[in-house]
Amino acid sequence: GAVVSQHPSWVICKSGTSVKIECRSLDFQATTMFWYRQFPKQSLMLMATSNEGSKATYEQGVEKDKFLINHASLTLSTLTVTSAHPEDSSFYICSASVNTEAFFGQGTRLTVV
């Protein structure tokens, strides 16, 4: 199957700093990628749709200025959590689709202290 890779797998940052998470499609091109957030013991919530070469589409309630998404190439989307706060601590997962199947990255555990 197709491979989606996220980096880093985990990151700890101080309040007020920004953190960038990368999502790469390793063996296919993805014009669209998706970013999800998963709180402990809860489901994955779609945050935004990342579109190559254009602006991301954010789900209702997701602050676009807080969660900056850039999809500069067909194999890379980045999510930057700006001015992170402890409530942003979560598990962030990206995905991309090939034909009819979505493939997921391994996720990034963000802890803001």
Partner 1 sequence: AQSVSQHNHHVILSEAASLELGCNYSYGGTVNLFWYVQYPGQHLQLLLKYFSGDPLVKGIKGFEAEFIKSKFSFNLRKPSVQWSDTAEYFCAVNRVGNTGKLIFGQGTTLQVKP
Q: Which is nearer to partner 1, 12 or 102 (CB)?
A: 102
Stretch of 14-22, 43-51, 62-70, 74-82 lying at the interface with partner 1 (CB under 8 A): 43-51
Q: Does 104 bind partner 1 (CB under 8 A)?
A: yes
What is the separation, in whole angstroms, between the first and last Cα of the chain?
37
Provide the minimum distance between the beta carbon of 83 and partner 1 in the complex, in angstroms, as a whole number.
27
Strand-pair category, 57-58 with 44-51 = antiparallel
Contacts of residue 48, Cβ cutoff 8 Å, sequence gap at least 6: 34, 35, 56, 57, 58, 59, 62, 64, 67, 69
Choose one: 15-23, 67-75, 81-89, 98-106; the region binding partner 1 (CB under 8 A): 98-106
- Residue 14 and residue 89: Cα distance in Å, rounded? 11
Q: Contact residues for partner 1 (CB under 8 A)?
A: 4, 32-34, 36, 41-46, 49, 93, 95-97, 99-107
